[in-house]
Amino acid sequence: MKISRTSSPQQIGATGKAPGVGGVSGKGFAAKLSAAKAEGVTAQAAGKSERARKAVAVSDIGADLKAGKLTPQAAIDKVIERVLDRQVGRKADAALREKIGAAMRESLADDPMLAAKVRALADD
Q: Give tens-digit pLDDT for 47-88.
A: 666 666 665 578 899 899 989 999 999 999 999 999 999 889
First to last CA, the chain: 92
Backbone angles phi, psi at 9, to 5 degrees: -70, -25
Of 52, 76, 55, 54, which is closest to residue 65 (Cα–Cα)?
76
pLDDT at 57: 79
Q: State the Cα–Cα distance between residues 56 and 62, nearest whole angstrom.
A: 10
In the chain, which residue ranges form alpha helices assigned H by DSSP?
A: 27-55, 59-67, 72-87, 94-110, 112-123
Q: Which pTM value belongs to this model?
A: 0.54
pLDDT at 32: 80
